[in-house]
Amino acid sequence: MTNYPHLAQKLFNVPLAITPQKAEIVMAALADRFGLARLFHADGRVVAFDDWDGDIGEPAQARAYEVVAGIAVIPVTGTLVQKLGTLRPYSGMTGYDGLRACLSMAMADEDVQGIALDIDSPGGEVAGCFDLADDIYRMRGSKPIWAILTESAYSAAYALASACDRILVPRTGGTGSVGVICMHVDMSKALGAAGVNVTLIHYGDRKADGSDSQPLSKEAMSRYQSDVDAMGELFVKTVARNRGLSVKAVRDTQATTFLGAAGVEIGFADAVMAPDEAFRSLLAELG
């Protein structure tokens, strides 16, 4: 059974490294599970729910990873979360904990000569992302680790891809979105309309900052923006180190996404290749 309150804690009022469009789809898909009739943009437009692909409640049937001709193929799909508690993608999510375990096992497996991260993800949680990216970066040199995009690697998924030895993107795939976003949910008007008045009793002036039962204060907004800026800078510096780019060059992308060859031109990918061609290229590299 899906733990929706747990999902809410992971998705609302916390920094996410995910594309805004995907974030809106996830929120809209889960809205009625959280007892929300509709979600709105800041300008009052209703968030659309057109193409949710999370398939909530059904476990993925794929193995944790397959070894094909000496290459461990590790799937990195859907929304990325810190702790999923499984080695394989589940309910449209992939856990950093499972990825770390799979990578460790593949690195220690004598039958594995190289590793392919099969990535198609809009990103996900900041928590745990950069620690895993650092781990992948440190694994370089032991066995080839390639990011083979089976369409796109955005935001947190790109942070992981950037740590690999090579990034190969298909023509219609994408890279980038090097940025951080945080969505604050203000339920105060909805609660008031429902005849529910919430009184927050707290010790410490900032203890209630970010509560969904009151509007976000200027002071809280400033503090959250500072935290998001700090994590954004960590993201930028991590990608710059991983890809051998200047910090300024990465920062100047302003979280833009890049389609296919545009990502190669800016240095966010190494070549444009279809996934099967990319896999054959890794095989050739291994000899």
Give the residue carrying structure tokens 């960590």.
Answer: 234
- Of 121, 152, 155, 177, the active-site residue reads 155
Judge whether 155 counts as a catalytic residue: yes
Q: Which of 274, 256, 278 minimizes the C-alpha distance to 265?
A: 256
Q: Cα separation of 236 and 238, whole Å?
A: 5
CB within 8 Å of 183: residues ≥ 6 apart: 11, 12, 13, 16, 23, 27
Judge whether 22 counts as a catalytic residue: no
Strands (E), the chain: 15-18, 66-68, 71-81, 93-95, 114-125, 145-154, 166-169, 174-176, 181-182, 257-259, 271-272
269-274 contacts: CB < 8 A, separation 24 or more? 269/149, 269/167, 269/168, 269/169, 269/175, 270/166, 270/167, 270/168, 271/166, 271/168, 271/169, 272/168, 272/169, 272/170, 272/171, 273/168, 273/169, 273/170, 274/170, 274/171
- Of 104, 142, 207, 217, the active-site residue reads 207
Q: Cα separation of 263 and 224, whole Å?
A: 30
Active site residues: 155, 207
